[in-house]
Structure 1
Amino acid sequence: MKFKKILMLVLSSLLATTSCEEPNKQQGEAITSQKVIIEQERKAILATLNNETKAAFQRDYEAWQTKWVHDPDITKIYLDFPENTFSESVGWNEISQFVKTFMEEHPETEPLPELLDEIEVRLYGNGAWVTYEQQDALRGRKRETRLMEKVNGEWKIAGMQTTIYGSETNETK
């Protein structure tokens, strides 16, 4: 009788241990899967941002505009500390016209900044909040914030704030 109780205790302990390990294994697999998805989305966002930058600096309006959400509520803001300027465009029509005018008035291409490889991304379903810093050959250090939306499986820009700090020589003036 004593042997039976010990055997039952051992078997129930093994059964409890086995049943506890399965959820932990499933949780680990879910976390790994989620990390893979986040990394895939980060790479897709990175490609959109780099391609939008290339198009803008090469004055390719057609390629540039494909990277943006065409919606009346999107925004584009520039804060340029060295030049002491601020500009804000609201809605696709205003942003599009601003960029077309800029490209017409400044048709010469600009040196392409080093393309991004590091960005901070926070995913929210079909949206993402992205921040990064970049060195621009003409403007110096910039901090960018982008609101991204996934439209028909593609990441597009729905909001942008660029803060230009300038080069170190500008910062010491």
Structure 2
Amino acid sequence: MARPEQFALIFDRHAAAIRAYCARRVGGSAAEDLVAEVFLTAFEQRARFDPARAVAPWLFGIATNLLHRLHRQEQRGLRALARTGRDPVVEGVAERAAERVDAVRFSRELAAALGAMPAPERDVLLLFAWANLGYAEIADALSIPVGTVRSRLSRGRTRLRAALPSNSGPNPLTEKDTP
């Protein structure tokens, strides 16, 4: 991946997934800047990339590390969502509206629970639920053992179950099939 033209293929394959993950974490306008920073960082570090490693977890790891820099902004956004109950990702996405109805019903509680959750648990939970990464990919992205991913995901789910109303319907963050 040392050649820049090879990197363009990586951008084409993974930019949408990285953008979607970042948008869920920091909102649409900040996500565009974050995606640009993710790929700039990856491009600058491309010579150090281990070709035996999968590209997607590497990029999600960079994104998560950059998100830590934006932690205060993320916390403010989650607090605002907890206050208003309006998820900016849901607004204007008519084709997924039916799928999201249950999530909207408990979005305030979800935002509050995510905002109160320790960052390591939240990172694992959101990489699993929003980026659709498996345990090994999350471990690779965060440079932690798979067992740590499993325990953080379990603790995060437990916190969410305790924080969310029991009649809120199916919750993909806590009831999604595990890989």
Higher strand fraction: Structure 1 or Structure 2?
Answer: 1
Instruction: Please identify the structure whose Cα radius of gyration is greater.
Output: 1
TM-score (norm 2): 0.29
Q: Which structure: greater helix fraction?
A: 2
